Structure 1
Amino acid sequence: MASSKAPKKANLLDHNSIKHIIDESVSEIVKNGGYVEDVRLSNVRLLIGTIIIVIALFAQFYKKKFPENKDFLIVCIILYVVFNGLLQLIIYTKEKDAILFTYPPAGSFSTTGLVVSSKLPRFSDMYTLTIASADPKSVSANKPVHLTKSVTEWFTKDGILVEGRIWKDVEALINQYAKEPKKNK
């Protein structure tokens, strides 16, 4: 179950701190359950981000000064906008609220991993965790499962995460996903 490291503490007045601690714990629990993280999408995002930075650096440090490099700057601006748009498109269509993408567990007959996503609306204590198939159109994809719970059930009044409770809830959700009947085609 949970390891014997320092307890995770969140600032209970900071919405982002609470969500970050819970998301981090959920990722640990899923990985501990035999799922290996799929970082391909993160690597694509990093590559596109690096290209954007290189374009900006070329535009900034090009050897010719402004009137002579006008055409070069226009090309750099267009490429900068295109790659930023591509990056936003990936985030909007693929990532959404995802906190973790996984490969199928080792030794499994499933051909699809998981997408673990979470929501904690601003000014709300209700945290929603969703586990779904990374490829919903796959034959081995199960229906998504959801857990909505108040974050107050996972934290002490001092802001320390009660890892045993969250482990129990997340493991139960993973087991519920694994037992869901397959879709009828």
Structure 2
Amino acid sequence: MQEKKPETAAKNPKKANLLDHHSIKHILDESISEIVTGRGYAEDVRMSNVRLVMGTIIIIIALVAQFYKKKFPENRDFLVACIVLYIVFNGLLQLLLYTKEKNAILFTYPPAESFTSTGLVVSSKLPRFSDMYTLTIASADPKSISANEPVHLTKSVTQWFTKDGVLVEGLLWKDVEGLIDQYAREPKKNK
């Protein structure tokens, strides 16, 4: 299922500062997320929600420790407990980011009309001082029987931007859709 490309792109072109590595990656990641969700993959925000809840817990621990009614010598044990909880929840949050999220820019559910039971994990890398952008599409559940092998696309960002820093969305759209199609193909069965 292919949907129509957004018409607002011609009116409001996406422009990046070509000297800013983060600006380029942000524009590309945002555009790729739009392309993937435009292909019928609904975004799975569970991981983002878990991160938000853990971040909220960390902030509440810090606020309770800061504004506790008793002064320092009397609240020493309480402060030590708050510091330990703060460190534990921060450690859990970092572990979650390191093990589950890695370089992911988008988690999806499977398309509604699809026979697969797993969504996608779209991840990207743009190393500092490099123009080579790597996009990876993999299964959200790699151990699932319906999971396909991950596919990769490595290309210079100069292929998608004009010299003025305007993103040529048609070229990016074509490359990302080709990668999605490559992932969705049935793997060849061994005889």
Query: When the two structures are superposed, what TM-score results if normalisation uses the length of structure 1?
Result: 0.97
How many angstroms does 1:182 deviate by?
A: 6.9
Partner of 2:102: 96
Residue 131 of structure 1 aligns with an amino acid whose one-letter code is I
- The residue type equivalent to 1:129 in the other structure is L
Match of 2:90 in 1: 84
Q: Describe the SS at the equivalent of 2:137.
A: strand
Matched AA of 2:133: Y
1:3 to 4, 7, 10: 7
Q: Deviations over 1:4-59 (max 9, x none)?
A: 24000000000000000000000000000000000000000000000000000000
Partner residue, 2:43: 37
Contact 1:143 1:182 (C-alpha < 8 Å) held by counterparts: no
CA distance in 1, matches of 2:101, 2:186: 23
Paired-residue identity, %: 79
1:74 CA displacement: 0.5
Q: Structure 1: which 5+ residue stretches go unaligned?
A: none
Matched, 1:136 2:142: yes
Shift of 1:107: 1.3
Match of 2:69 in 1: 63
Is 1:22 the counterpart of 2:23? The answer is no
Q: In structure 2, the residue corresponding to 1:12 is in which secondary structure?
A: coil
Contact 1:127 1:150 in 2 (8 A): yes
Q: Of 139, 156, 161, which residue of structure 2 is paired with 1:150?
A: 156
Q: 1:123 and 2:137 equivalent?
A: no
Q: Secondary structure at the match of 1:46?
A: helix
| SS at 1:167 equivalent | helix
Report the count of equivalent residues: 184
Tell me, yes or no, if the aligned pair for 1:140 and 1:182 is still in contact at 8 Å.
no
Query: Hey, what's the Cα distance between the residues in 2 that align with 1:167 and 1:30?
Result: 9
| Inter-CA distance 180–118: structure 2 relative to 1 (3 Å threshold) | farther
**SS in structure 2 of the partner of residue 76 of structure 1:** helix
Q: Which residue of 1 aligns with 2:53?
A: 47
What is the deviation of 1:67?
Answer: 0.3
**Is the contact between residue 143 and residue 183 of structure 1 (CA under 8 Å) also seen in structure 2?**
no
Runs (5+) with no aligned partner, structure 2: none
Q: Within 1, Cα distance between the matches of 2:186 and 2:33?
A: 21
Q: Offset at 1:175?
A: 0.3
RMSD of aligned Cα (Å): 1.1
Alignment correspondent of 1:13: 19
